[in-house]
Chain A
Amino acid sequence: AQSVTQPDIHITVSEGASLELRCNYSYGATPYLFWYVQSPGQGLQLLLKYFSGDTLVQGIKGFEAEFKRSQSSFNLRKPSVHWSDAAEYFCAVGPLSGGYNKLIFGAGTRLAVHP
């Protein structure tokens, strides 16, 4: 079955510290991978996406993610977290070939940032 797992429900980091949010997926074919961020009262915003090429993808707001096929993972990283990064983060997968973006989402990781 197709699924996305985000093992960490809540993460708390200090401002300026590095961040890594984990994402593992189970998908029958080569997936199309996404990270979205959801701030309170706002819709989801796309941080980055990967479908081919360099496995290290750069996104907005200083985020990056690395696709590791052997580990079925697509972890999100940021070298130095800002207080404004506090939000909920969702990993998602979609079909790479054919079709459209019928995305499958993980349950999300809520990030808190301490000053």
Chain B
Amino acid sequence: GAGVSQSPSNKVTEKGKDVELRCDPISGHTALYWYRQRLGQGLEFLIYFQGNSAPDKSGLPSDRFSAERTGESVSTLTIQRTQQEDSAVYLCASSSSGGRDTQYFGPGTRLTVL
């Protein structure tokens, strides 16, 4: 596609429910990143995928968070048993390869946990 897309754009859920966020990277981009942006704060790195290599999960805040990516395609970020502190904008970015290539960001998913 022309850019990184994410769905849904907004998600409201109740505390304790599971949510799944989707990211479609730019076609051909092998590297994919997830970030979290809390209100009034900068982006926090969550996880990085590069091709078929093992992902870097070092930024995931708890074991309630997980992400998957099949090959170089769509990625899903899953948050289990959501908590109010999970409320944030979740941003996905892709780049043509790993290393220091420019990251292109999607519009984000705004998650609100009631």
Interface residues of A (CB under 8 A from B): 4, 6, 9, 32, 36, 41-46, 49, 51, 90, 92, 94-96, 100-108
Contact = CB atoms under 8 A, between A and B. Distances in A.
Given A100-B48, A102-B48, A94 B100 contact: yes
B14 to A, nearest CB: 25
Nearest to A94: B100
Contacts of A36: 105
How many residues of B sit at the interface, in one of the four size bands?
20 to 34
B73 to A, nearest CB: 19
Given A51-B100, A100-B98, A100-B100, 13 more contacts: A6-B42, A32-B100, A43-B107, A44-B43, A44-B93, A46-B102, A46-B103, A101-B95, A101-B99, A104-B42, A106-B42, A107-B40, A107-B41
Contacts of B50: 100
Contacts of A43: 3-4, 91, 93, 104-108
B45 A103 contact: yes
A90 B99 contact: no
B20 interface: no
A46 B102 CA distance: 8
Interface string B38-67: 001111110010100000100100000000
Given A41-B107, A44-B91, A44-B105, A102 B56 contact: yes
B101 interface: yes
Contacts of B91: 43-44
In this complex, the member of B35, B43, B105, B108 whose beta carbon has the largest number of chain A beta carbons within 10 angstroms is: B43
A46 B104 CA distance: 8
